[in-house]
Amino acid sequence: MALKDESAPLPKALEALLGDAPSDEKTGANATLGFTFQQWWGALVVAELLEFEADFAVGMEVKEDVAILDSALSPRSVEFCQIKKNEQAGGWGLKDLHRQGPKRKSKPNEPSILAKLHKRRTEFAGHSTKLRFVSNLSVKIAAGMSASNCQLTSLTPAEQTEIREKIAKQLAVGSADVDLNDWMLHRTNLPLGEQYVFLAGKLADLSAAGKIPFDLPNPTVAARYLASVLQSKASHTSYAATIHDLKSRVLSRADAIQALSEAAGTTHRASEKLDDALQQLAATGYPFLALKQIKAERTTVLAHAVDRTNDQMKVCVAALATQLPHLTQDASSLPLRDLMDSLVKQTISAFPSDFAGLSPAYVNALALLVLNDGIDLDILPPAPGPQPEACA
């Protein structure tokens, strides 16, 4: 039996390794009305982990696209996940995953998908790590078979040998040093479109099974809210040297429950107010197609109404609120449709840059919430820029 080498340096603590290194790439996400496939998948992982009682934390842009930790405060294991959306028919070939990338200017060739993941594992040597390649399409393996959930160690010996040799060559290591254990090729059931519907179904099942300690009156809105929180996590790209610094990129079990609680607790009121306003528009003969477009923005607007991370929505609502006192005295007798049109016109005229990129239907829905007291204005920041003088 070999004696333990007492002089060998101990591996760094997992928390320290998770911190940023100068070589790490940070892409992040801008605050937009849409979410990436990666963020939707992260939200789905959160929902799947809520089925169980064990603690967890899901990190966005922590070393890889998604990192799944067994704890937010004192992690002992981590699973690194690369998410690749594929919109081409036919799926992935195994060679696609270990094929070296193109040569970069004055730099060596880009490592393959699998080589990048394995390099991450070597950086965390001495700690429990799992690796996962995630896509919406399956991977074609030997004999024309397709793998939807496949451990690399279940591939044929020839396939495993080829993977080891390709990775070893790209990383300049010995093939015997390439560890294929706890490494999954995973085809997610998350669709490319209307991901919120899929996630909402999962959240509704969790609520019905008592896995979430409260009812979700509107699972669709809760799904979009959860995704918006993950989007916010992904947008934090400032340098983080410690696990404490990384908190802004990590969603813990407690954070997830809190986010869903916020959606469940405030959305019901907002949805009732917005639906009441939409009924009033319909009753006054508001143009059918225009009303249909506003209704199409209903789910997004309700999600943003409880989303304290969506800065553009908060600024827009605050701007709308500042214009309420500036409606003319005669406006008090106008029907809701005219009040909405007038409020939107005045606000966009005063703060045009705040509403850049937003659809008219989305802005109209926000205005309806403001006019119908469907959103808590006290939590919102004041609108930026100069305030127009009050009308005489």
**pLDDT band per the 50, 70, 90 thresholds, residue 29:** very low
pLDDT digits (tens, 9 = 90+) for 370-391: 998 877 655 444 444 444 333 3
Strands 139-140 and 92-93: parallel
310: left (phi over 0), alpha (psi -120 to 50) or beta: beta
- Region 343-368: mean pLDDT is 94
| Predicted pLDDT of residue 392 | 31
Q: What is the mean pLDDT of the chain?
A: 82
Least confident piece of the model among 43-52, 91-100, 145-154: 145-154
Contact 203, 48 (CB under 8 A): no
Question: Do 372 and 305 contact (CB within 8 A), yes or no?
Answer: no
User: Using one digit for the tens of pLDDT, what is the confidence trace for 152-205?
Assistant: 999 999 999 999 999 999 999 999 999 999 999 999 999 988 899 999 999 999
Q: CA–CA separation, 202 vs 220, rounded Å?
A: 10
Whether 300 and 224 have beta carbons less than 8 Å apart is answered as yes
pLDDT of residue 277 exceeding 60, the answer is yes
- What distance in Å separates the CA atoms of residue 201 and residue 49, rounded to the nearest whole number? 15
Q: pLDDT at position 331, please?
A: 61
Tokens of 338: 């005219």
- Percentage, residues of the chain above pLDDT 70: 81
Looking at the predicted structure, is the pLDDT value of residue 52 above 50?
A: yes
Domain ranges of the chain: 14-260, 266-379
Average pLDDT over residues 136-146: 78
User: Above pLDDT 90, what percent of the chain?
Assistant: 42
pLDDT at residue number 24? 64
Question: What pLDDT is recorded for position 12?
Answer: 66
What would the two tokens of residue 131 be? Answer: 């690796």
pLDDT digits (tens, 9 = 90+) for 214-264: 888 889 989 998 998 888 888 766 766 666 777 778 898 988 988 898 888
In the structure encoding, which two tokens stand for residue 133, read together? Answer: 């390649």
Tell me the longest C-alpha to C-alpha distance in the chain: 93
